[in-house]
């Protein structure tokens, strides 16, 4: 049996009578949606900013509709609720923009939480609560699932949805529309809620849907960009499964149990996305796309019929010739592998279930099949030594196969996070959540130095790996928002493997791009959110983007 390091309620199954009722409702309303009923409560779902940069060729990931918000808005739309998505990921002042689109225009507010948008969520809830004290505020997503106590104790949230939200939001809104919240909330599973007296309560866990075929086809036209002059971009973030069989120390999973859609369901979903929205490329964000060989082959057979290019995430241990050949034949452009490190002790401590030999074998198998191999690497994991880190750098430079490198983050809910709290590396949970909102995944980022390596060693390794990037799969992306920042022009093209794919000068103008840091981000640098010795160990040699905001000569200027 797989280890269970996460909160035990995440391992429950949503298989009670009420769960089956709402799953059946989702199926029926996917086929025949209920006409929008203006007498029902208006629901607004806010997607807030993220500082996270994406390397050249992956910019579509920053602006694409994604599954969490798409499914929540779709199930409510199909049930007849007036639903609106407010997407302020790339507004210059996302807090003001979101507030202006909410007040006086909604009856229920929903917020999507991510590990790096806590200050935005907390401040928006405070402003909305002050202006409209009777509007209920519901939060969902990975961050509030990992630290629900923070949201109940330190924000104006009325309800925190734990783990998957499709069944829970339907039950919540049905109860609210009928005026029965005071009676029903104690019995709606999978939430934390606030009593009329202000006391925080937690209900029994709901757990995960075991039948993903109950999910509807995503209504991407609910996203505002669908109605913009450029229209919806032809790239989508989707999946055929949820969960992960592994238990890595640095990774948080809101849905740890593995379940998958049937090939028939996958076929219907892809046909819908292609015919309705002209999707040409899919990033399958399943945590381990190829974990089960038979299932992988079946899904690839489905994808092949829809003539799209695609990419996915998987493990080095879960690749062989039949799988990679099937993936290639169905249009796979590049496979992203969670390599993280090559150090034996590093991988053991991280519970990766991998090794350098497995990584090299997967890389050769992938290359031999004519598919690109994309390494995802972390600088600064526990037990990393200068020798093992330098070995990883040489590995990256030799094969020019890196897709992403980042400094280790202590993600809420993970083993690394709990260890950092216990050791005092994290001063407080609030401080840490604030600080995560300025982490851009750039060379100059501040970082928590849990490895004990000198800061210069970590930064030099990061820079060399970053310079070993290969191009992403969508080099002709044209949906850049107006307010975008561009980082680190790089005249070096890498190996012929990169230029044969993207041409020469493919990152001459920039190596990474992102939306602007939110106003006020300078409040959350490591010197303000940690103990002095922690800040010195990971923020002494460079100024991160948030620190640069305090310089009059640099404030508001895009780095190019």
DSSP string across 245-280: S---TT---S--S-EE--HHHHHHHHHHHHHHH---
Tell me the pLDDT tens digit for each residue of 478-499: 999 999 999 999 999 998 989 9
Q: CA-based diameter of the chain, in Å?
A: 66
CATH number assigned to the domain covering 233-407+448-473: 3.20.20.70
pLDDT at 558 over 50: no
What is the structure's pLDDT at 7?
Answer: 82
The secondary structure of 104-144, three-state, reads CCCCEEEEEECCCCHHHHHHHHHHHHHHCCCCCEEEEEHHH
User: What is the predicted pLDDT for the residue at 3?
Assistant: 52
CA torsion 476→480→485→488, rounded to 10°?
0
* Domain parsing of the chain, residue ranges: 13-200, 233-407+448-473
Q: Tell me the C-alpha distance between 496 and 502, whole Å.
A: 10
Mean per-residue pLDDT, 192-219: 94
Residues composing the chain: 560
Distance of CA 54 to the CA centre of its chain: 12
How far is residue 351's CA from residue 250's CA, in Å, rounded to a whole number? 9
The yes-or-no verdict on residue 2 having pLDDT over 50 is no
Q: Give the residue with greater pLDDT, 252 vs 102.
A: 102
> What pLDDT was estimated at residue 556?
40
When pLDDT is averaged across residues 141-169 and rounded to a whole number, the result is 97
The CB-side HSE value for 487 (13 A sphere, CA atoms) comes to 24
**Closest residue by Cα to residue 342 from 398, 415, 269, 271:** 398
Q: What pLDDT score was predicted for residue 245?
A: 85
Task: Look up residue 197 and give its DSSP letter.
Answer: T
Q: What is the pLDDT of residue 554?
A: 38
Tokens of 184: 């029903």
Distinct helix (H) and strand (E) counts, the chain = 22, 18
Nearest to 413 by CA among 7, 2, 4, 8: 7
CB 144 within 8 A of CB 52: no
What does the pLDDT read at residue 553?
Answer: 40
* Average pLDDT of the chain, as a whole number: 94
Ramachandran region, residue 488 (left: φ > 0; alpha: ψ -120 to 50; beta: rest): left
Q: Lowest-pLDDT range, 4-13, 206-215, 217-226, 438-447? A: 4-13
Write down the pLDDT at residue 551.
65
| CA Rg value for the chain | 23
pLDDT for the residue 259: 93
Average pLDDT for 452-478: 97
Q: Residue for token digits 């086809």? A: 217
Distance CA 177, CA 316 (A): 48
Report pTM: 0.95
Q: Provide the CATH topology of domain 13-200.
A: Rossmann fold (3.40.50)
Spatial strand order of the sheet with 54-55 comes to: 54-55, 512-514, 485-487
Mean pLDDT of 309-330: 97
pLDDT tens readout for residues 392-417: 999 999 999 999 999 999 999 999 99
Higher pLDDT, 4 or 508: 508
Phi, psi of 282 (to 5 degrees): -130, 130
Chain CA centroid to CA 116, Å: 10
Helix (H) or strand (E) holding 391: helix 386-399
Q: What is the pLDDT of residues 89-130, one digit of tens each?
A: 999 999 999 999 999 999 999 999 999 999 999 999 999 999
User: What's the token pair of residue 324?
Assistant: 């990679």
CA distance 240 to 269: 9
pLDDT in tens, 70-89: 999 999 999 999 999 999 99
Q: For residues 416-442, give the mean pLDDT.
A: 96
Confidence band of 559 (pLDDT split at 50, 70, 90): very low
Question: Which candidate, 253, 250, 257, 534, places its Cα nearest to that of 418?
Answer: 250
User: What pLDDT does 560 receive?
Assistant: 34
What are the DSSP E strand ranges found in 317-471?
A: 332-340, 372-379, 402-407
**Local structure of residue 13 (DSSP, 8 states):** B
Tell me which DSSP letter residue 208 carries: B
């Amino acid at each position: 049996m797989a280890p269970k390091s996460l909160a035990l309620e995440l391992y429950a199954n949503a298989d009670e009578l009420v769960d089956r009722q709402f799953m059946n409702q989702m199926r029926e309303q996917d086929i025949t949606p209920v006409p929008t009923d203006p007498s029902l409560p208006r629901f607004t779902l806010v997607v807030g900013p993220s500082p996270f940069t994406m390397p050249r060729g992956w910019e579509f990931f920053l602006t694409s509709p994604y599954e969490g918000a798409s499914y929540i808005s779709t199930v409510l739309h199909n049930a007849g609720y007036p639903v609106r998505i407010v997407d302020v990921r790339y507004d210059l002042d996302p807090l003001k923009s979101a507030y202006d689109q909410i007040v006086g225009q909604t009856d229920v507010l929903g917020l999507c939480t991510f590990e790096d948008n806590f200050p935005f969520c907390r401040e928006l809830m405070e402003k909305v609560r002050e202006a409209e004290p009777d509007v209920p505020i519901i939060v969902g997503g990975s961050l509030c699932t990992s630290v629900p106590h923070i949201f109940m104790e330190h924000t104006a949230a009325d309800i925190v949805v734990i783990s998957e939200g499709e069944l829970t939001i339907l039950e919540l809104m049905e109860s609210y529309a009928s005026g029965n919240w005071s009676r029903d909330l104690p019995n709606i599973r999978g939430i934390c809620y606030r009593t009329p007296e202000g006391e925080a309560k937690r209900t029994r866990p709901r757990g995960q849907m075991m039948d993903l075929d109950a999910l509807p086809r995503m209504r991407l036209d609910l996203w505002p960009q669908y109605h913009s002059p450029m229209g919806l971009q032809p790239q989508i973030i989707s999946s055929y499964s949820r969960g992960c069989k592994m238990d890595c120390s640095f990774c948080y999973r809101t849905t740890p149990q593995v379940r998958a859609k049937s090939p028939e369901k996958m076929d219907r979903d892809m046909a819908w996305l292609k015919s309705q929205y002209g999707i040409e490329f899919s990033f399958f964000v399943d945590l381990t796309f190829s974990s089960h060989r038979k299932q992988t082959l079946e899904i690839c057979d489905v994808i092949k019929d829809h003539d799209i290019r695609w990419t996915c995430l998987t493990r080095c241990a879960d690749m062989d010739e039949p799988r990679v050949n099937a993936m290639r034949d169905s249009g796979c452009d590049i496979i992203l592998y969670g390599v993280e490190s090559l150090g034996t002790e590093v991988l053991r401590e991280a519970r990766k279930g991998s090794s350098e030999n497995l990584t090299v074998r997967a890389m050769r198998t992938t290359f031999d099949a004519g598919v690109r191999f994309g390494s995802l690497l972390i600088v600064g994991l526990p037990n990393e030594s200068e020798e093992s880190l330098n070995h990883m750098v040489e590995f990256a430079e030799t094969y020019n196969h890196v897709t992403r490198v980042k400094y280790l983050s202590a993600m809420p809910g993970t083993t690394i996070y709990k260890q950092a709290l216990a050791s005092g590396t994290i001063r407080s949970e609030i401080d840490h959540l604030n600080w995560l909102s300025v982490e851009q995944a750039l060379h100059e980022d501040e970082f928590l130095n849990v490895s004990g390596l000198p800061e210069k060693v970590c930064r030099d390794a990061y820079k060399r790996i970053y310079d070993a990037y290969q191009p992403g799969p969508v080099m002709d992306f044209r949906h850049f928002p107006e307010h975008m920042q561009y980082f680190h022009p790089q005249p070096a093209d890498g190996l012929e493997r990169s230029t044969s794919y993207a041409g020469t000068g493919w990152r001459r103008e920039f190596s990474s791009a992102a939306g602007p840091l939110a106003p006020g981000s300078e409040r959350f640098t490591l010197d303000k959110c940690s103990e002095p010795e922690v800040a010195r160990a990971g923020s002494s040699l460079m100024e991160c983007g948030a620190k640069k905001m305090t310089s009059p000569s640099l404030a508001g200027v895009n780095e190019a």
